[in-house]
Amino acid sequence: MRLTSKTIVFLLMVLIYFSMAFITGLNDPFSKVIQTQFSLSTFQSQLGGLFFFIAYFFVGIPSSLFVDRFGYKRSIQTAMSVVVFSFVLVLLGGNFGSLVVYFSGMFTLGCAVTLLQVVVNPVIVAAGDPSGGNTRMNLGGAASSIGATLSPLIVGFIMGNVADFSSLSVSDVNPLIFCIIGIAIVVFIAASLITFPDLNISGGENMLSEFRSLVNPKFLLGIVAIFLYVGMEVSTANITNLFMLNELHVDPASAGAVVGTYWIFMLVGRLVGAAVGTVIRSRTQLIIVASVALLLYLGAIFTPLSYTLSLPALDSDFNIVMTTLPVSIAMLIAVGFCNSVMWTCVFILATQGLDRSTNLAAGVFMMMVFGGGVIPALQGRLVDVFGSFQPTYVVGAFCLAFILGYALFVRKSDK
């Protein structure tokens, strides 16, 4: 039976959102795994994420052209095949002690996720009533948050149950990697059963003309905002996890649960965004959330670590426990709620009116996602230099200040 409904296409996009987020979320806990296995510095522990996200820069535009040439079905099938290949490399690199092979696997994994991103963003907007595009993106983002929440929770639980934490290695997470390979195969099969309807968003007939349509201040500043947003979003989770493990010496399972809460806040925020998306304009949403996030970041930087509170978390036996953490950590976790709708708002503001250049624009957006590798690596380097985590969050504060400036720059008439 061939399924052609846009609703079925939307549901598949939601599944892919979940899969991408789960895979991307592994960069956070895996940074601690390879840091322990290979005795890496904070900066070096972020190189896996750097190789993963730098792939976006190199294959963002080629991915867009690939989608235009081969269509959505083959693009999804190709991406999932590369996901399987990539995790085989990760397994080989981790289990045989080769960082080169491990980083190669992370790079090709990033290539696969980039291709998926180019597919899901325009398709989920177009798979239904145009007025509900914002809402559908936020619902997809909600599924993404669930996937991102489960990654640190599961790996944190695995890490907490390793008999000798100092001997932690990639081999300890082999079962999880095999499960992810299974998810990739399920998505491949699901895509094979669906006939994609004509969504009227493909282009590529006149590449030069399409590039020219992107040369406008709103779009150019928008891609800078996306670069900084993704970097800040990833860095908030990755560096805060290392902050708790390396400086505050929090139990790995508890740290994973706290970082998971960050992604839960993003889930809640996306659900709220989906509910208000047809009422509150994207520009207004972006101004509000960027302002609040900036205040939370500044609070996290300047609040003394001696100011603490108790937060619910999980221990290595999956029991709910109360963990005492600095207020600064709670502020950083709360940023997740604000981050939840930033991608949606910036994407819609920057690409509004591009019409058949949307695929190309999505490809350019994907290139800028490599900020998710650059910003955490930069902050990690500052941690090595200063020997402390808290002051380095000034990097994220700068990112948020720019995003707020972009929101204020966009005309009020934009949705």
The pLDDT, as a whole number, for residue 4 is 47
Assign 316 a pLDDT band (cuts: 50, 70, 90): low
The pLDDT tens digits for 22-81 are: 898 888 788 888 888 888 998 998 899 899 999 989 987 888 788 878 888 899 999 999
Q: Which two tokens stand for residue 286?
A: 């972006």
Contacts of 347 (CB under 8 A, 6+ apart): 121, 137, 222, 226, 365
The pLDDT, as a whole number, for residue 312 is 74
Assign 415 a pLDDT band (cuts: 50, 70, 90): very low
Q: What share of the chain has pLDDT > 70, as a percent?
A: 87
Distance CA 201, CA 67 (A): 11
**Helix-strand-coil percent breakdown of the chain, rounded to 5?**
80, 5, 15
The pLDDT, as a whole number, for residue 233 is 93
| Alpha-helix residue ranges (DSSP H) falling in 207-312 | 207-214, 217-242, 252-276, 282-302
3 state SS for 328-366 = HHHHHHHHHHHHCCHHHHHHHHHHCCCHHHHHHHHHHHH
Choose between 396 and 186: higher pLDDT.
Answer: 396
Of 184, 332, 354, give the one whose Cα is nearest residue 262: 332
Choose between 32 and 292: higher pLDDT.
Answer: 292
Q: Which two tokens stand for residue 11?
A: 């549901």
Distance CA 234, CA 412 (A): 29
Choose between 243 and 183: higher pLDDT.
Answer: 243
Q: What is the mean pLDDT of the chain?
A: 84
DSSP category for residue 194: B
1 pLDDT above the threshold of 60 = no
| Alpha-helix residue ranges (DSSP H) falling in 131-251 | 133-160, 174-192, 207-214, 217-242
260 pLDDT above the threshold of 90 = no
What's the pTM?
0.79
Q: Which two tokens stand for residue 288?
A: 């509000």
Distance CA 119, CA 363 (A): 9
Q: Are 52 and 109 in contact (CB under 8 A)?
A: yes
The pLDDT tens digits for 191-214 are: 888 877 665 554 555 555 566 767
Instruction: Scan for tokens 């083959």, then name that residue.
Output: 74
- Residue 308, strand partner residues: 326
Of 354, 113, 403, 406, give the one whose Cα is nearest residue 230: 403
Calculate the CA 365 to chain-centre distance: 13
Mean pLDDT of 343-367: 77
The pLDDT tens digits for 156-190 are: 777 767 656 677 788 888 888 888 898 899 889 98
Neighbours of 298 (CB within 10 A): 16
Pairing relation of β-strands 308-314 and 320-326?
antiparallel
The pLDDT, as a whole number, for residue 165 is 65
Q: Which two tokens stand for residue 393?
A: 């969050």
| CA-angle at 58, arms to 81 and 238, nearest 5° | 80
- Residue 126, strand partner residues: none
The crossing angle, in degrees rounded to 10, of helices 27-38 and 133-160 is 30
Distance CA 246, CA 125 (A): 41
Q: What share of the chain has pLDDT > 90, as a percent?
A: 36
How far CA 122 is from CA of 43, 140, 141, 233, 240, in Å, comes to 34, 12, 13, 21, 32
Q: Is CATH 3.10.110.10 the classification given to domain 6-198+208-409? A: no
